[in-house]
Structure 1
Amino acid sequence: MRMQIGTFLARRLKEAGVRHVFGVPGDFNLSFLEQIHDARGIEFVGNCNELNAAYAADGYARTSGLAAFVTTFGVGDLAAIGGIAGAYAENVPVVHITGAPPLHAVNSGALVHHTLVDGDYENIGRCMSEFTVAQARITPANAAYEIDRVLRSCWLERRPVHLQLPSDVTHIVVEVPDAPLLLADPASDPRQLRVAVQRIVEALDAARAPVLLVDADADRFGVTDLIVKIAEKCAIPCASLMPAKGAIDETCSHYIGSYAGAASAASVRHVVENTDCLIGVGLRFTDSSTALFSQRINMESFIDLRRHDLSIGTTQMPGVTLRDVLAGVHESAKSNSRPLAGELSAPANLTDPAPVSDDAPLTHATLWPRVRRFLQPGDVIVGEAGTAHAGLVSMSLPAGASYIAAPTWGAVGFSLPALFGSHVGASSRRHLLFIGDGSFQFTAQELSSILRRGLKPVIFLLNNGGYTIERMILGENSAYNDVDNWRYTDLARAFDRHDRSLSIEVRTVGELDVALGRAESADCLVFVELNLPKMDAPALLKQFACHLANFDYGECGPRNSAPDLTQGAKAPAHRAHGERVGA
């Protein structure tokens, strides 16, 4: 088969399940965008800037599979690199396509715009290579091979890849394969798989209290169904690290909640840390998922299942894939009817606070139980890093709900464009966003993209006058943690001349109840501004911020430092909210 290079790339993206390509037009990518425009079954979706496009692709991949976005060379690439790095950190499969200068300019070292005008056309690729698992500059000679190689690498590793598509080769006709792109995990070594499954099953049979613990890769590699089946067949409690929030159906009878080391519920922590057989799926013990490395795991009884290999205690076993191993364990393990302890039959949930009057000021204690009742089965819930994330991970989710966050990378402003991307790909599902005012100001313009496509999410903006998580760590009253107090409820109308939105400002508990009722019945985008006290926050955030400050700054840091006696006894300039010095 003979086909134009850009058309072939569009075809391969469609075969990989991509139905929408995000991005920003630029002169070097316009020829490819024309080919996307002409292709059936795939659509270009414009963003307000390249960083938002990267975040939107990340959100799209969370609910729709592999994602793609397009920038122009140099300025566009570097504007997007933070989003690409975030997708790498969070294990999200994103294809980054950059319209590069024409191949004749590259080969001659011409001093063209969007470059550093030094003739070096390798510097952008070097930057991208740090945050992608495969890269290529497409030429007529390598197009058919490299496009397939890079896309397969994206799928295999569930991480970003980078393709440079020179503007003068997109319409060059080359020979390409007739067969569709095959995206499949490599086959496991039969003997290694048989031995691995046998050893895991033997460990389960011998265990008194086995436990399953999953991380985000369980969702990325599509094995949550097998994990639930194993938990049910073998009567094994199942917990998740916080990056895997929502990966396991939290209404499942064997799901016991989130494990986060010392920040876990006491019952969950007891089960995970006292097991005699812990089976981990894709675990990464990061500072944010373990309350600053406070996990207590018995490595001798730890079975660590990874995407393409595993370890049982100190024994390493390469050549086996995650799905093959879990499928083998599910098939071979003995059924068990051991009852779960009563207190572990369901994850902990928020309890309703004491009754308050309708005119009581809104607080986090009154907000989150009402949010939990507002959630519906099948919702896609997007939480921004900080206050919103701390509130959301502290509650159980309804059946079939998905949760999108970036707790590992922790980029401020990620969630609004991620909501846009997910909503474009999964438009039939209700989408909810919880985002702080400081984070919203990073990427606020993507609200216009949501309105332009007529999407109808419910957006909750937590307005506490700045960066509350930072204030909890340091600088409670410092101006660097303040942001300007926009007229947030005016923005949806300013961004959309068709008035396809409902904006509500909430200051009291009664106003919140009314707003939730209106949001429930509205057939448009709903924007709810929640006015909260500056230093109010979910309990989990307060606890984490205190420990993080000590981790970051040490005993002699500005929160805990003793007075400088050479300058006279003075109290430290900054203290944690509600804490004494040295706490």
Structure 2
Amino acid sequence: MQMTIGQFLLKRLTEIGIEHMFGVPGDYNLQFLEQVKACDGLQFVGNCNELNAAYAADGYARLKGAGALLTTYGVGELSAICGVAGAAAEHVPVVCITGAPPLHAMEQRLPLHHTLADGNYDDMMICFRQFTAAQTRITFANAVGEIDRVLTTCLREKKPVYIQLPSDVSYLTVEAPDAPLDLSFASDPRQLEAAVEHALRLWSQAKRPALLTDMDADRLGLRHLMVELVGKAAVPYASLTTGKAILSETHALWVGHYLGEGSSVEAKAWIEESDCLITTAPRFIEFNSGHFTQNLPKDHTIMLAGHSVTIGSVRYEGVNAQELLRHLLQQVPERAGDNHRRLEEEAWSPQADAPLTQERLWQRMARFIKAGDTVLAESGTSNIGLTSQALAPDVTYISANIWGSIGYTLPATLGTALAAPDRRHLLFIGDGSFQLTAQELSTLLRLELKPIIFLLNNRGYTIERYILGMQEAYNDVANWKYAELAGVFSEKGNFLTAHARTEGELEAVLEKAAVSNALTFIELHLDPFDAPAALKKFGPATAEFDYGPLGPQRLSA
């Protein structure tokens, strides 16, 4: 069929489940925005800046399977590149589309605005090449093939891709295929057969099989298969903190988080002493490995990756992890569960006049979180505080665990709220992080979305204080009147705001938040020098790792 290049790109985006595109208008992408406006099933969401748009597209993709970002050339796309790099680090498929100068101007190397005025039109793509799995500049001749190639790569590699759409190209008519984009990925039959045979052999000999999940269990669509395997074969399982809550943390067979030497005795034993460990390509960083003290049983590990499976020392290329797990599920025998049980959490009741503390706050928040919620935890205090808590089943937990860019979660909440409007979305963010991306609160209000936002006001960067500079001014931030910002950003009054300084005040606020039908913004006032127990350990360990035995942390101790 015949259609314009812009229409074809939008057709493909909707086919892969994208219903919202985030970005900022610019003269080089306005012609494409006219086409977006006319597209049924896809809405443009204008953001306050391009970085926030990238974060929103990332949050959206974590629930929808893919996200889309639209920027203008040069100034716009470079403003977004931190968020795109974060999506690459966290294995999140985001389609980055930049409205580029007209193709004739690029070919003539004309010096234009939003460029370095040197006629170089390769520099932006070179920048994005470092953080994307595929890149292309669309022309009349290559449009159909390149759009399909880049989008297929995005979804198969689970990483961002980059499309330059010149401003004089999107309205050109091309012959486009009727068939939808083919996203099937079948294993090489012989490799799959050999991998299944090897895995079953290892499994049949095992006395202590176990599972270990990381974020790729979610990205590769393995969660439900792993749930089935746990149920059928009664397999104990752990997760890295970077794979938190992908499998239930209240199940009888969950043994906790695995963090190398930082693990509980039980989790460490199950993972390191397993004689058949199935894991989803864990990526160990200092944060999730007890500073690189992990010790997996390599000879007895089945490592599931995007396009390969490694069993012991043997790597099987061209094997789809989903297919391998389906074969295992069909052939492993059922096994009754053992007597392994986690202790029930102690009952929690508020101490009405007691000031809020990090230790008690996160215990209460874990009980406020319900099955099916989407929880976004900002890097630092919020993420560390919630990581130590077992969350309700079927919670989607989102944090920038590897990239760690502060401010990510507020615009990411915009993305998740649009991706899954029927779910409850809870955001936990510190004051320092909030100040980086605060403008996007206005977009949440403009679109009348209804997340519950917990703003931790502790007067600065708590995690940095525990690394270095506990009382130094460089770890302070201005003390905004945070709860009043909703009224600044919206005249509609479509929000609920509240403060809590004590446990009694928090209980009253949570009662209102639980039944609120509007965006709810709760400012929690905490001691600037209080922190979760895990952060108090992590900070000094990070200082020792970063600065060494003669570093400034020794002088300030």
TM bucket normalised to smaller: over 0.9
Q: Identify the match of residue 451 of structure 2 among 457, 461, 466.
A: 457
Partner of 1:316: 315
Which one-letter code corresponds to 2:285 in the other structure?
Answer: T
Partner of 1:326: 325
How has the CA–CA distance of structure 1 residues 542 and 483 changed in structure 2, closer, same or farther, with 3 Å as cutoff? same
Which secondary structure does the structure 1 equivalent of 2:496 belong to?
strand
1:158 equivalent in alignment to 2:158: yes
Measure the CA separation in 2 of the matches of 1:432 and 1:151.
Answer: 31
Which one-letter code corresponds to 1:78 in the other structure?
Answer: L
My pick for the range that moved more, 278-287 or 467-476, is 278-287
Which one-letter code corresponds to 2:188 in the other structure?
Answer: D
Partner of 1:430: 424
Which one-letter code corresponds to 2:101 in the other structure?
Answer: P
Aligned residues of 1:458 and 1:527 also touching (Cα < 8 A):
yes
Measure the CA separation in 1 of the matches of 2:23 and 2:252.
Answer: 42
Partner of 2:220: 221
Which secondary structure does the structure 2 equivalent of 1:212 belong to?
strand
Which one-letter code corresponds to 1:403 in the other structure?
Answer: Y
Aligned residues of 2:22 and 2:44 also touching (Cα < 8 A):
yes
Which one-letter code corresponds to 1:532 in the other structure?
Answer: L
Counterpart mapping for 1:179-190 below 5 A: 179-184=179-184, 186-190=185-189
Q: Identify the match of residue 392 of structure 2 among 398, 408, 413.
A: 398
Which secondary structure does the structure 1 equivalent of 2:362 belong to?
helix
Q: Identify the match of residue 358 of structure 1 among 339, 343, 352.
A: 352
Q: Calculate the TM-score normalised by the size of structure 1.
A: 0.94
Partner of 2:115: 115
Give a deviation string over 1:510-561, Cα, whole Å, max 9, x none.
Answer: 111111111112111110111111111111111111211111111111122x
Which secondary structure does the structure 2 equivalent of 1:124 belong to?
helix
Which one-letter code corresponds to 1:69 in the other structure?
Answer: L
Partner of 2:438: 444
Q: CA deviation at 1:337?
A: 2.1
Measure the CA separation in 2 of the matches of 1:177 and 1:251.
Answer: 48
Measure the CA separation in 1 of the matches of 2:504 and 2:39.
Answer: 51
Which one-letter code corresponds to 1:111 in the other structure?
Answer: P
Give a deviation string over 1:49-88, Cα, whole Å, max 9, x none.
Answer: 0000000000001111111010000001100000000000
Counterpart mapping for 1:167-206 below 5 A: 167-184=167-184, 186-206=185-205
Partner of 2:141: 141
Partner of 1:519: 513
How has the CA–CA distance of structure 1 residues 340 and 96 changed in structure 2, closer, same or farther, with 3 Å as cutoff? farther
Measure the CA separation in 2 of the matches of 1:372 and 1:308.
Answer: 36
Q: CA deviation at 1:338?
A: 5.1
Partner of 1:211: 210
How has the CA–CA distance of structure 1 residues 340 and 126 changed in structure 2, closer, same or farther, with 3 Å as cutoff? farther
How has the CA–CA distance of structure 1 residues 351 and 296 changed in structure 2, closer, same or farther, with 3 Å as cutoff? farther
Q: CA deviation at 1:282?
A: 2.2
Give a deviation string over 1:358-405, Cα, whole Å, max 9, x none.
Answer: 121110122112112211111000000000001111111212211111
Partner of 1:299: 298
Partner of 1:498: 492
Which one-letter code corresponds to 2:323 in the other structure?
Answer: D
How has the CA–CA distance of structure 1 residues 526 and 440 changed in structure 2, closer, same or farther, with 3 Å as cutoff? same
Counterpart mapping for 1:81-96 below 5 A: 81-96=81-96
Which secondary structure does the structure 2 equivalent of 1:105 belong to?
helix
Q: CA deviation at 1:430?
A: 0.5
Aligned residues of 1:240 and 1:257 also touching (Cα < 8 A):
yes
Which one-letter code corresponds to 2:159 in the other structure?
Answer: R
Q: How many residues align?
A: 557
My pick for the range that moved more, 272-281 or 89-98, is 272-281
Which one-letter code corresponds to 2:412 in the other structure?
Answer: A
Partner of 2:247: 248
Measure the CA separation in 2 of the matches of 1:318 and 1:388.
Answer: 39
Which secondary structure does the structure 2 equivalent of 1:155 belong to?
helix
Measure the CA separation in 1 of the matches of 2:297 and 2:12.
Answer: 45
Aligned residues of 2:350 and 2:504 also touching (Cα < 8 A):
no
How has the CA–CA distance of structure 1 residues 357 and 225 changed in structure 2, closer, same or farther, with 3 Å as cutoff? closer
My pick for the range that moved more, 218-227 or 84-93, is 218-227
Aligned residues of 1:349 and 1:394 also touching (Cα < 8 A):
no
How has the CA–CA distance of structure 1 residues 515 and 349 changed in structure 2, closer, same or farther, with 3 Å as cutoff? farther
How has the CA–CA distance of structure 1 residues 470 and 352 changed in structure 2, closer, same or farther, with 3 Å as cutoff? farther
Partner of 2:369: 375
Partner of 1:233: 232
Q: Identify the match of residue 545 of structure 1 among 539, 542, 547.
A: 539
Q: Identify the match of residue 529 of structure 2 among 513, 532, 535.
A: 535
Aligned residues of 1:435 and 1:461 also touching (Cα < 8 A):
yes
Aligned residues of 2:156 and 2:306 also touching (Cα < 8 A):
no
Give a deviation string over 1:320-353, Cα, whole Å, max 9, x none.
Answer: 1111111111111122225152xxx34x786567
My pick for the range that moved more, 476-485 or 270-279, is 270-279
Give a deviation string over 1:290-331, Cα, whole Å, max 9, x none.
Answer: 121121222222221211112121112112111111111111
Q: Calculate the TM-score normalised by the size of structure 2.
A: 0.98
Which secondary structure does the structure 1 equivalent of 2:552 belong to?
coil
Which secondary structure does the structure 1 equivalent of 2:261 belong to?
helix
Partner of 1:126: 126
Measure the CA separation in 2 of the matches of 1:19 and 1:208.
Answer: 47
RMSD: 1.3
Partner of 1:33: 33
Counterpart mapping for 1:14-93 below 5 A: 14-93=14-93
Measure the CA separation in 2 of the matches of 1:357 and 1:278.
Answer: 44
Which one-letter code corresponds to 1:420 in the other structure?
Answer: L
Which one-letter code corresponds to 1:307 in the other structure?
Answer: G
Q: CA deviation at 1:249?
A: 2.8
Unaligned runs of 5+ in 1: 561-571, 576-583
Which secondary structure does the structure 2 equivalent of 1:174 belong to?
strand
Identity %: 49
Which one-letter code corresponds to 1:305 in the other structure?
Answer: L
Measure the CA separation in 2 of the matches of 1:516 and 1:192.
Answer: 54
Measure the CA separation in 1 of the matches of 2:346 and 2:531.
Answer: 16
Measure the CA separation in 1 of the matches of 2:535 and 2:414.
Answer: 26
Measure the CA separation in 2 of the matches of 1:247 and 1:61.
Answer: 16
Measure the CA separation in 2 of the matches of 1:526 and 1:188.
Answer: 47
Measure the CA separation in 2 of the matches of 1:89 and 1:373.
Answer: 31
Measure the CA separation in 1 of the matches of 2:251 and 2:175.
Answer: 50
Q: CA deviation at 1:267?
A: 1.8
How has the CA–CA distance of structure 1 residues 396 and 154 changed in structure 2, closer, same or farther, with 3 Å as cutoff? same
